[in-house]
Amino acid sequence: MKRFVVVAVVVALIVVAGVGGYLLLRETPGAHSSAASEPSPVTVTTAPASPVPPPSPSPTESPEPVAVVPDESWSGPSGSMAVTGSDAVALTFDDGPSPAWTPHVLNTLRDWQVKATFCVVGTEVRANPELVKAIVADGHTLCNHSWHHETRLGHESATKIRRNLERTNDAIRDIVPDAYIGYYRQPGGQWTERVVRIAMEMGMVPLHWSVDPSDWDKSTRSSHIERNVLGHTSAGSIILMHDGGGDRRRTSDALGPILSELTSRFRLIALP
């Protein structure tokens, strides 16, 4: 009996010691095995990266115009171009764009599915940008006709001529940035060798005409315009007409009958 009591006391002491040790282990930091513990988060501090500026775009320069080489078929004043050089006929309209008359001309050309060439004046371009866009949108060709219809421009210095033509081209490209301007027409047809040379150096063909129905004259009737154009046009003709610079009612009235006849006889083109 005495031995049994001793054994029981010993067992009780062992149990108490085990429980105490277990509790001690639970309360002691780091007592868990590394396999059972979760890793402490690690904060990595890095030096702030120096900002890398985006690459600077290379400056885009306007391509240098390719000088025009005169063609042996040109027969206009001072070496200008007066015929198309093919069997095609080209209608050209000067002095616009005009909000009063250019829309009528465009509508009539559209009705007959005909393309033409518009020789535009710089001041009118700046005043009527939507008409310039409409001309281009319809597939017509643009031609430089000086800044303010300066008939004596060809007698100015080379510097003044070049600045005038550049100013007009810039006004056009402010509205239609990728506009092709391959022609220059001297107002009044008052060509000089100097203005012809400079236009060609700037990549523009000096554009004259071979048929002039005098539609610019206020006394010219629409019936006369029609008869003149139909009676003088032949294969290769370049026809001068006007959509700006004054009252162009007679030109507008004559255009439909002219196109009705010309489309049955010729291939009509916008100058390339």
CATH code of the domain covering residue 168? 3.20.20.370
Assess whether 94 carries a catalytic annotation. yes
Query: CA-to-CA distance for 82 and 174, rounded, in angstroms?
Result: 29
**Is residue 129 a part of any domain in this protein?**
yes
Q: pLDDT (tens digit, 9 = 90+) per residue, 140-191?
A: 999 999 999 999 999 999 999 999 999 999 999 999 999 999 999 999 999 9
Which residues are paired to 117 by β-bridges? 92, 141
Residue 14 has pLDDT above 50, yes or no: no
**Is residue 8 a part of any domain in this protein?**
no
**Is residue 18 a part of any domain in this protein?**
no
Amino acid at 245: G
* Active-site choice (95, 215, 242, 243): 242
| 99 upstream amide cis, omega within 30 of 0 | no
* Active-site choice (71, 94, 224, 253): 94
Q: How many domains does the chain have?
A: 1
C-alpha dihedral over 129, 132, 136, 140, to 10 degrees?
180
**Is residue 152 a part of any domain in this protein?**
yes
**Is residue 208 a part of any domain in this protein?**
yes
| Domain extent at residue 219 | 77-269
- What pLDDT, on the 0 to 100 scale, is given for residue 175? 99
- What pLDDT, on the 0 to 100 scale, is given for residue 63? 56
**Is residue 170 a part of any domain in this protein?**
yes
**Is residue 14 a part of any domain in this protein?**
no
Question: HSE of 7 in the Cβ direction (CA atoms, 13 Å)?
Answer: 4
**Is residue 227 a part of any domain in this protein?**
yes
Q: pLDDT (tens digit, 9 = 90+) per residue, 121-144?
A: 999 999 999 999 999 999 999 999
Paired sense of beta strands 89-96 and 117-120, if any: parallel
Whose CA is closest to 200, among 168, 174, 236, 161?
161
Q: What tokens appear for 122 in the block?
A: 């710089």
